[in-house]
Amino acid sequence: MSNIEQKEFENASTGSRQDLTRKKSGGRFKKRIIFSAIVLSCTALIMSGAAMNSYFSVSAPQGNGASIVTPKLAGFNESSRILEGLASENDNNGHNETNTASPEADKPAHSEEPPSATENKAAKSAPKVAYLTFDDGPGPYTDKIVEILNQHSIHATFFVIGNQLKGYEDSVKAASGSGNYIGLHSMTHNKKNLYESGSSAYFIKEFKREQKMVEKITGHSPSLIRAPYGSKPQINKKFRDDIVESGFKMWDWTVDSKDWQHTGKPDKVLQEIKRQVHRDVEVILFHEKKQTVEALPQIIDYLTNKGYAFAVYKPDRHFSVNFANDSRL
């Protein structure tokens, strides 16, 4: 082989090796690109899943308009727990109450009947619960409210005023015997006496006195109170400390029906409910008034159709609903 042919052969060999090297390098480069694309895709999927999980873990929005300060509410997990308890009660011999659910209420005779189909359907279809609460009784509308509740096979929580108990002892006893919880709303409902003394002493004295009166009527000593006019801004940290030390729990509300404002206008009361209700757990403020009684059947139907089950306060399943977000109360 001549020198020229040898050089051409060497050049050809070198070129072939370089082509082969480039092909191998190109293959490795393509593999790296494919591998990187797979890694990035997996990362994106993981991050998307985490984001979706975070989104669906967020509890219901807490706003309720400018009319009230919304308390810290138990979120989805809490509402699920409440609802599971309610559903299990409904399956317990057809009762809405269990033997140990609420020491504040004897089993009603009428509770031997199974709850309504709408109540069972609401309890099993969505984790939403409504607590109906009635302030400023007892009075001429107490029996009618209890009658409406009985007709719908549901219960409610009543916050009664001590100075109004006389003459309505039978109504309070009947309400308690029907499965409703009788809570405390002070002796006088007098804002000056309760809040302007500079301490919690008079406030607590009134509630302790009323607690004994309710116990004498119903046979049960209630621990749940509602502060007249709500806890904000009247009740500060020191005030709350004293309430906790006294052994009371305190509920405000998440929805104000404003029935106190809409005298003679039950349709307005219903509109307020429709406007404000949206959380998984709602504690709805009513008062024992004529327009409330007139609107109540429609309100119950509306909440049922929105997927809400109805629950009564039970000390052993207490959860905090107060404007200060104080978990102790």
Using H for helix, E for strand and C for coil, what is the string for 148-197?
A: HHHHCCCCCEEEECHHHCCCCHHHHHHHHHCCCEEEECCCCCCHHHHHCC
> What's the pLDDT at 41?
60
Q: Do β-strands 309-310 and 255-256 pair in parallel, antiparallel, or remain unpaired? A: unpaired
Q: Which residue has the tokens 């003459």?
A: 167
Contacts of 191 (CB under 8 A, 6+ apart): 228, 229, 234
Residue partners of 318: CB distance under 8 A and separation at least 6: 224, 249
**How many residues in total does the chain contain?**
329
pLDDT of amino acid 116: 47
Tens digit of pLDDT per residue, the chain (329 long)?
A: 555 445 444 554 554 555 544 555 555 555 566 666 665 665 555 555 544 443 333 333 333 332 223 333 433 344 444 555 544 444 443 333 323 223 233 333 333 334 444 445 544 555 799 999 999 999 999 999 999 999 999 999 999 999 999 999 999 999 999 999 999 999 999 999 999 988 999 999 999 999 999 999 999 999 999 999 999 999 999 999 999 999 999 999 999 999 999 999 999 999 999 999 999 999 999 999 999 999 999 999 999 999 999 999 999 999 999 999 999 99
Residue 256 burial class via C-beta count within 10 angstroms: exposed 0-12, middle 13-18, buried 19 and up: buried
Helix H or strand E encompassing 207: helix 201-218
Residue 210 buriedness (CB in 10 A; 0-12 / 13-18 / 19+): buried
Tens of pLDDT, residue by residue over 277-317, are: 999 999 999 999 999 999 999 999 999 999 999 999 999 99
Residues marked active site are found at 135, 287
pLDDT recorded at residue 35: 64
Distance (Å, whole) CA 1 – CA 273: 104
* The architecture CATH gives domain 76-317: Alpha-Beta Barrel (3.20)
Q: What is the DSSP letter of 251?
A: B
Question: Which among 120, 122, 118 has a CA at the least distance from the CA of 94?
Answer: 120
Instruction: Tell me the two tokens of residue 95.
Output: 């009762």
Q: pTM for the complete prediction?
A: 0.67
Q: Which long-range contacts (CB under 8 A, 24 or more apart) does 99-102 make?
A: 100/316, 101/314, 101/316, 101/317, 102/179, 102/181, 102/312, 102/313, 102/314, 102/315, 102/316
Is 132:157 a contact under the CB 8 Å cutoff?
Answer: yes
SS3 1: coil
Domain ranges of the chain: 1-58, 76-317
For residue 145, report the phi and psi dihedrals to the nearest 5 degrees: -60, -45
E-assigned strands of 71-175? 129-137, 157-160
Nearest residue to 326 via CA among 252, 221, 273, 216: 252
